[in-house]
Every structure is written in C-alpha cells, then in structure tokens.
Chains A and B, each alone.
Chain A
Amino acid sequence: MAEKIATREAYGNALKALGEKNEKIVVLDADLSGSTKTAVFAKAFPERFFDCGIAEANMTSMAAGMAACGKIPFISTFAVFGTGRNYDVIRSSICYPKLNVKLAMTHAGLTVGEDGATHQSLEDIALMNALPNMTVIVPADAMQAEGAVFAAAEIEGPVYLRFSRAKTPVIYPEGHRFIPGKADIIKDGKDAAIFACGVMVSKAMEAAAALSNEGIEAAVINISTIKPLDRQTVITYARKCGRVVTAEEHSVFGGLNSVISQCLSEEYPVKVKAVAVKDVFGQSGKADELMEYYALTAGEIVKAVKSF
C-alpha cells in the first residue's frame, strides 16, 4: 500500500469524467470548490457549475429545484456543513420527495485535522442514515471514491457520499468495480470479523495482518454502503467468526456500529465491539495525532479483537 490519495481528489476527477459522459450533471458548491475539488469540474464545464456562496441551505434547496427539472445535481461542501446546516432542506426538499440530488461531502471525520471540532463531522452518517430514501456511501479509498461517483449518478434518488481530506492508502487496484449495497470481503478469516468503512478499512487490514502473525485469523469486510446495509454478509460473517468488531471514523452513535449492531441484534445476537469516537467532539491537531488520540488505530482494532 505505497500510494496515498485523498478520496476528495478522486471525487473531483471522477466528477469531471462523469460530466463528460452525462450532460444532466450539474455541480453546486458553497465557496469551497478548491477544497472539495469540484473546481476540477468547474474548470471543464463552467456552464454547469454554480457557486452558491456561503449559503449551504440555499445551495441544497436550489439543487432540489434543479433535480425537479431533470438535472442530476452534485452538491459539495465540508461534511459538517453539508449535512448539518442544511439538514431540514435535505429532509424536506430532497429525501421526502425523493429528488435526484447527490450530496458529495468532503472533509469528513477527524482527519480534517487542524481546523478542529467545528469542522470535524462525526455525526453525518447518523444524520443521513436516519432519512428515508437516502443511500449512504463511504468509499474506502480513491478507487472506490471514483466508482461511487459513477454509481451515485445511476441511483435514482438521493445519495450521500462521504469523502476525506487526508491522503489515505489506495487499497483497490485500478479498474476496481464498485458495487453499491455490496459489502466487500477484503480478507477472509474465521476467528473475528472486522467491519470497517472509509479510512478505517486500511487500518483494519493492518490490524488483521498483525493478528495473523499471532495466529488469529480476522476477516476484514469493507462496508462502503452503510445504507442499505448488506445484511446477508454481516450475518454470515458474524455466524462464521463469532467475534465482531466495527471500525469507523465517526461517532459511536448512529454510524456503522449502530447499523451492524441493529442488524445482528435481530438476526444473530453476538457481542459487537466498537472502534469509533466515543461521544466526544474532536479538537485541533494533525490528522494522525487525532486518530491516535481518539483511539482510531490498527492497534485499537487489535485490542478490540482480543478483548472478547
């Protein structure tokens, strides 16, 4: 895993490629096009790019109106503003009427780094999960990010895409086919099942390698689509492994741990250990320092697997 690319980078490039293929794609941003990488699209298709200024709620409303006219709007800003400030709009004007808007939000989670708690969204997956008609996708690397952009355009209805600021390891090979709604078994195993999403997938792989050295074979399952959840794979691996660990760069409430626990409590009740942010806000610091401080590391996953 030598190469590192930020998923937001892959988003920007994929968006431009998508724009070349599909004229219905329009892109709206809220004064962060350089950071969210929608500027790549804006440069290629200035007539289909609309800066909405620092007005996230109205950007979201306008996207709803454009979708009602047959466009496929991708709207972008930081995840914390793009799911929080405009929540009412996403709920009432996009999800309720099931309009075809793609919410592609970047700078999610702690890996935003130095900007601190105001800019670190740790609740966005919870907010989006709770909305009927919403699909929630958290790509694990740049390859998946690219695939997810194209997949989102094919899905009829609202999609939330969660991207990161930080450069993270590329896990999948060139040409990886992203299938929405399908969990991906990256490494098989029988002793423990580690379900991970986003930047935590590569850490889960590190953890599994370390565990393997100690004779513990952990399966690593990438849950890149949180909603709808691939329940069958989750149940199969819980049955097979018995020990279940979840890993996410998100609050322990309402994200990956919640959906997996909910599924297993109904279908196959087992203990589920969470590697997640424990009901606290973040703070300023380097991305790696923060991941360490808030216990989102391969080492923590190893500890969780051994804690049963």
Chain B
Amino acid sequence: MENDKLSAIALRVRRNIIKMVNSASSGHPGGSLSGVEIAVLLYFEIMNIPSFSDENRDKFILSKGHASPLLYAVLCEKGLFPAEELLSFRRLSSRLQGHPDMKKLPGVEMTTGSLGLGIGAAVGMALSAKSDGKPNRIYCLCGDGEIQEGTVWEAAMAASHYKLDNFTLIIDNNGLQIDGDVAKVMSPYPIDEKLRAFGFEVVTAENGNCFDCLREAIGKLNDKNGKPKAIVAKTVKGKGVSFMENNASWHGTAPNEEQTRQALKELGEN
C-alpha cells in the first residue's frame, strides 16, 4: 500500500487511541502510540488475511496486551466493528476489554495481558502451522520492557529449536517502561545480539515509526532458512503527541479533556 494511505490510517489510529483512553479515563497511550506504524504496516500490507475466519490467515499476537487501544483501533480500520464501539473501551460489558480477550472480540487472535505469555502462544501457533504444512505466518509484538520476563526467552529458545521460520517477533523498542528507562530499570540490551544468540535472524529498524524503514527491515528477512525472525524496531513512546513523546509517565495515564484536545489538534483533527 502507498505510504500516504498508510499514513492516513496511522493518523486515524492515533486519534482513536487518544479518544479511547480519554473516554475510559484509563489505559495505556504511550506504548500504543509507539507501535502504530508496525501494526498498520502488518495489517494493511504485510499480512495475508483473506478473512478473519480463514484457517490459513496470518496472525498478529499482541504480547504487550496493554497496548490494546492500538489493536482495537487497527481492527476497527479493518472493518471488524464500527468506530462508535471504540468508545466502549474498558466499560462494563464491552467487547473491548482493558486487555485483549479473544473470546469477546473477533479478530483478537490471542488473549493477552500478563506479560511474556503472548509470545509463547504465538510460537505454539507457528509450530502448529509448521507441523501441519500450513502457510500461516505468525507475527508477535513484544515490548522492550516485556522481554525482561523469562518466559520470553523460553519461547525464543523453542522458536529456534523448532526452526520456526514462519514466526516473526517484533520488539517495540521505545526504551521506556513504567519505572523509567528500560536500560536503568533492568537492561535488556543488547536485544539484537541476545536474539541472534538464541538462533533468530535479526534486523534492526532504526526508525520503527517509519513505514519505509520497517518495510526495508522486513524485506531483509529470509523466509525459508529455518530461523525465526526478529525485528528490533526503535520507536518513540507516545509518538505523535508532543507532550507524550519519550515520557514514561504516559505509559498508563489517560489524558484529561484539555490534553485530549491538544493531542487531537496535533494529530490534525479539528
């Protein structure tokens, strides 16, 4: 898809993330905004999804489940539900739970929320497809703080052991977690070398908020060499909203009315 079309989608997704979190007065804007280009490029260009009930569809697992506003906003763009429903986010009886629930909302491929678990399920899906000779590719988005969880590395080991070259891990490397700089809280670095040592084919996207840069990174990965893939995408937490950018305090804080107006203005909404 052309970059300007993708950018238009990304802009709507960003606006919806802000609106959802504002409407719920809770949620996680920072890490939702950092992953927008990754999710939009996957859903609108990279992944093969003839329909969300097609057995051979590619799947996206949001292992960093707290970025649910990102997933919901993108699934809404894919036409799975009307935009009005986005504002039910985090409300009683909503299909849009605080963290994604695969049994409530069609299009959600895996229930996530407890960090470090989505990646293992994604590896299980890739293994299932591989052992059945099916064409599904499985994409999994992990946070850079999330990879402090030991289960992430158990899953990485298994992906490599079972030669899951149909599995692509993307690290949303925005550099910040709740308590601050990931390097200061509990450094996961060097992420690329660690993943390489675990048997992954790794590329770094120096700008993970740039479609060309992400596209180029994905293009470098060789599909059929028996190695799982990883992209370390260097992103900006809170990307697109000046006062949220690179500020850990927007990890799990909702903007108030004034801040929401300001954010939407910056995102080009009148």
Residues from chain A with a CB closer than 8 A to the CB of B110 are 64-65, 68, 93, 97
User: Contact: A57 with B111, CB < 8 Å?
Assistant: no
Complex-state Cα separation, A48 to B127, whole angstroms? 11
Q: Which of B213-238 contact A (CB under 8 A)?
A: none
Minimum CB–CB distance from B194 to chain A (whole Å) comes to 16
User: Contact: B131 with A61, CB < 8 Å?
Assistant: no
Q: With CB as the reference atom, state the residue of chain A lying closest to B124.
A: A65
User: Contact: A58 with B155, CB < 8 Å?
Assistant: yes
Check if B101 is an interface residue, CB within 8 A of chain A. yes
User: Contact: B121 with A98, CB < 8 Å?
Assistant: no
User: Contact: B111 with A66, CB < 8 Å?
Assistant: no
User: Contact: B157 with A62, CB < 8 Å?
Assistant: no
Check if B158 is an interface residue, CB within 8 A of chain A. yes
Q: Which of A54-82 contact B (CB under 8 A)?
A: 55, 57-58, 60-71
Q: Which of A48, A68, A69, A88 contacts B102 (CB 8 A)?
A: A68
Minimum CB–CB distance from B155 to chain A (whole Å) comes to 5
* A65 and B151 in contact, given A52-B158, A89-B117, A96-B111 (Cβ under 8 angstroms): no
Check if B154 is an interface residue, CB within 8 A of chain A. yes
Complex-state Cα separation, A54 to B155, whole angstroms? 12
Q: With CB as the reference atom, state the residue of chain A lying closest to B132.
A: A69
User: Contact: A62 with B123, CB < 8 Å?
Assistant: yes
Residues from chain B with a CB closer than 8 A to the CB of A98 are 103
User: Contact: A62 with B121, CB < 8 Å?
Assistant: yes
Residues from chain A with a CB closer than 8 A to the CB of B113 are 92
User: Contact: B122 with A65, CB < 8 Å?
Assistant: yes
Q: How many residues of A contact B (CB 8 A)?
A: 29
Complex-state Cα separation, A61 to B113, whole angstroms? 13
* A66 and B117 in contact, given A97-B102, A97-B111 (Cβ under 8 angstroms): no
Check if A47 is an interface residue, CB within 8 A of chain B. yes
Residues from chain A with a CB closer than 8 A to the CB of B129 are 69
Residues from chain A with a CB closer than 8 A to the CB of B162 are 50
User: Contact: B120 with A61, CB < 8 Å?
Assistant: yes
* A66 and B124 in contact, given A58-B154, A61-B117, A89-B117 (Cβ under 8 angstroms): yes
Minimum CB–CB distance from B133 to chain A (whole Å) comes to 11
Q: Which of B86-138 contact A (CB under 8 A)?
A: 101-103, 109-114, 117, 119-129, 131
Complex-state Cα separation, A96 to B127, whole angstroms? 22
Q: 1/0 contact trace for B154-165 toward A, CB 8 Å? A: 110110011000
Residues from chain B with a CB closer than 8 A to the CB of A91 are 114
Residues from chain A with a CB closer than 8 A to the CB of B121 are 61-62, 64-65, 68, 93
Q: 1/0 contact trace for A38-58 toward B, CB 8 Å? A: 000000000110101101011
Residues from chain A with a CB closer than 8 A to the CB of B120 are 57-58, 60-62, 64-65, 89, 93
* A55 and B158 in contact, given A62-B127, A97-B101 (Cβ under 8 angstroms): yes
Q: With CB as the reference atom, state the residue of chain B lying closest to A63.
A: B124
Residues from chain A with a CB closer than 8 A to the CB of B112 are 92-93
Q: How many residues of B contact A (CB 8 A)?
A: 30
Residues from chain A with a CB closer than 8 A to the CB of B111 are 92-93, 96-97
Complex-state Cα separation, A55 to B161, whole angstroms? 13
Residues from chain A with a CB closer than 8 A to the CB of B124 are 61-69
User: Contact: A66 with B125, CB < 8 Å?
Assistant: yes
Residues from chain A with a CB closer than 8 A to the CB of B109 are 68
Q: With CB as the reference atom, state the residue of chain A lying closest to B119.
A: A61
Complex-state Cα separation, A96 to B103, whole angstroms? 9
Q: Which of A47, A53, A68, A92 contacts B117 (CB 8 A)?
A: A92
Q: 1/0 contact trace for B10-32 toward A, CB 8 Å? A: 00000000000000000000000
Complex-state Cα separation, A64 to B121, whole angstroms? 6
* A66 and B151 in contact, given A92-B117, A97-B102 (Cβ under 8 angstroms): no
Q: Which of B123, B125, B154, B157 contacts A57 (CB 8 A)?
A: B154
* A53 and B127 in contact, given A65-B120, A89-B117, A93-B117 (Cβ under 8 angstroms): no
Q: 1/0 contact trace for A87-115 toward B, CB 8 Å? A: 01101110011100000000000000000
Residues from chain B with a CB closer than 8 A to the CB of A88 are 114, 117
Q: Which of A55, A57, A65, A70 contacts B127 (CB 8 A)?
A: A65
* A66 and B127 in contact, given A61-B151, A92-B113, A96-B111 (Cβ under 8 angstroms): yes
User: Contact: A53 with B158, CB < 8 Å?
Assistant: yes
Residues from chain B with a CB closer than 8 A to the CB of A67 are 124
Q: 1/0 contact trace for B241-253 toward A, CB 8 Å? A: 0000000000000
Minimum CB–CB distance from B141 to chain A (whole Å) comes to 15
Complex-state Cα separation, A68 to B110, whole angstroms? 8
Q: Sample 25 A-B pairs with CB under 8 A, ordered by A number.
A: A26-B128, A47-B131, A55-B151, A57-B120, A57-B154, A58-B151, A58-B155, A60-B120, A62-B121, A62-B123, A63-B124, A65-B120, A65-B122, A65-B126, A65-B127, A66-B128, A68-B109, A69-B125, A71-B128, A88-B114, A91-B114, A92-B113, A93-B117, A93-B121, A97-B111
> Contacts A52-B158, A68-B124, A93-B121 given; 20 further ones with Cβ under 8 A?
A47-B131, A48-B131, A50-B127, A55-B151, A57-B154, A58-B123, A58-B158, A64-B117, A65-B128, A68-B109, A69-B128, A70-B128, A71-B128, A89-B120, A92-B111, A93-B110, A93-B112, A96-B101, A97-B111, A98-B103
